[in-house]
Amino acid sequence: MMTSRPDILPQGTTDDAGAASGGASGGPSRGAMLTERFLRALYHDLYGRAPLRSERQGWLGKPLVDLVEAALVDEASWRYWLDVQLYYFMLIDRFEPVGTSLDELPERLASRRISPRDALHRIALTPSFELRNPGADTFVTVIMEQFCGIEVQRSTRELEIGKSAYDGGTGTFLGSKASSQSDVIQIAVTHRDAARHFVSREYERLFRTRCDRKQAARWGKEIQKSPNEMFALYRAWFASPEYAERVERGAPLSNQVWVRSVYVDLGDVIAPDEEVEALRGALDSLGDPVPLRSLIVRMLLDAEGTRSPRGPEIGEPGPWIDATFDRLLGRQPTDMERTQFLKVCEDGPDGPELVLYTLLTSPEYQIA
């Protein structure tokens, strides 16, 4: 039934947002206006969920770059960024840092008092990071691989030096003197390879494709020299033609973003963290999460707060169907889809629930 792809590029998109192909200081277009689909994609990547009704009303038709700039000084967007980083390091479930100094990171990032690199450093210093990676061998391996992108099998000498330093020995680790666990962390986090690796993995996360190695090296050099340039690079990436092309291609939603988005789309509410994590954990444990996603949709359609409207509650079905397609999929229904769903709504009071279930379990809804 879902057959078409919408015109989702931001209105007025031009090529003057070329920073994604050059330096971090490039300027994005201020003329690109937010469409429904592009707004949804930005919220997925910036906030980890679909936009609330009030947010849609406030941002649709506004300059894209204004939303990006607002998000980059918004504590809520950096709270999601922190969630992403903790998941990358597998600091989740029983290893999730609770009641630590990490709680203040979103506000400090939003106010530019620390850089993303500083935040990653703080993550590595938490007791949770050490509990998740116990012992010198595991700890130094993870530091080298996840922070610097170094294959330890090809750098066994550095691994042994790092392990010795972890245990209090002295040596030259990644080109700098080290004699403690904190030295190992400090050296790795501030190493040139760490800047390049961080840029590469963030680019891949947002663009859903690998970053060109030479470009990653250039960006990494800028970030290494001035860590706060990462804020400018994020801004340029989101406003770039390359990001618009990524949105047009689409990419699968992570289980966490999918769960948060379903709550917003059905109840216009932000899901409680404990419910999100419970459902995310269940979905992550499956090789194919699609059947369980469908079951979750069915459960929420019957639940208080996210219950589906009954037929009489939607008013005229035609405008409701158009608005629902626009809100959930970022496009208008085709003539065939509109005809089919009108008949579903006219057949009984459960029609709206069937429409919502069909859209929310469709392959098109599963992408950003």
Whether residue 34 is contained in a domain is answered as: yes
User: What pLDDT, on a 0 to 100 scale, did the predictor assign at position 310?
Assistant: 80
Coil, strand or helix at 183: helix
Rounded Cα distance between 225 and 220, Å, is 8
Rounded Cα distance between 128 and 122, Å, is 11
User: What pLDDT, on a 0 to 100 scale, did the predictor assign at position 342?
Assistant: 95
Torsion sign, CA atoms 288, 290, 295, 297: positive
Coil, strand or helix at 33: strand
133 and 237 inside one domain: no
| Range of the structural domain that residue 53 is part of | 18-73+195-249
Whether residue 10 is contained in a domain is answered as: no
- Token couple for 172: 């030259």
89 and 183 inside one domain: yes
Choose one of 190, 222, 237: the last residue of a domain: 190
Among 357, 290, 293, smallest CA distance to 328 is for: 357
In one-letter notation, the amino acid at residue 74 is D
Whether residue 325 is contained in a domain is answered as: yes
238 and 199 inside one domain: yes
Whether residue 38 is contained in a domain is answered as: yes
**8 Å CB contact between 296 and 303:** no
- The total domain count for the chain is 3
CATH of the domain at 322: 1.10.3130
48 and 136 inside one domain: no
**8 Å CB contact between 257 and 283:** no
In one-letter notation, the amino acid at residue 175 is G
- Token couple for 92: 């989740």
63 and 200 inside one domain: yes
243 and 334 inside one domain: no
Cα of first residue to Cα of last residue in the chain, in angstroms, is 19
Among 357, 338, 346, smallest CA distance to 4 is for: 338
295 and 204 inside one domain: no
Q: What is the mean pLDDT for each group of 10 consecutive residues in the chain (368 residues)?
A: 44 45 45 88 97 96 96 98 97 88 95 97 96 97 97 95 96 97 97 97 97 96 96 96 93 96 94 94 95 96 85 87 94 95 91 95 92
Residues in the chain, total: 368
User: What pLDDT, on a 0 to 100 scale, did the predictor assign at position 308?
Assistant: 84
262 and 230 inside one domain: no
89 Cβ partners below 8 Å, 6+ apart? 123, 129, 132, 142, 146
**8 Å CB contact between 248 and 6:** no
351 and 283 inside one domain: yes
- Token couple for 308: 């589906």
φ/ψ region of 12 (left if φ > 0, alpha if ψ in -120 to 50, else beta) reads left
Bridge partner residues of 237 (DSSP):
none
223 and 177 inside one domain: no
Whether residue 150 is contained in a domain is answered as: yes
213 and 137 inside one domain: no
Whether residue 4 is contained in a domain is answered as: no
Radius of gyration for the alpha carbons in the chain, expressed in angstroms and rounded: 23
User: What pLDDT, on a 0 to 100 scale, did the predictor assign at position 3?
Assistant: 44
* Burial environment of residue 74 by CB neighbours within 10 A (0 to 12, 13 to 18, 19 or more): middle
Longest dimension (CA), the chain: 77
289 and 230 inside one domain: no
Whether residue 308 is contained in a domain is answered as: yes
- Token couple for 152: 């330890």
Torsion sign, CA atoms 343, 347, 352, 354: negative
Whether residue 11 is contained in a domain is answered as: no
- Helix 351-360 to helix 317-329 angle (10° resolution) is 20
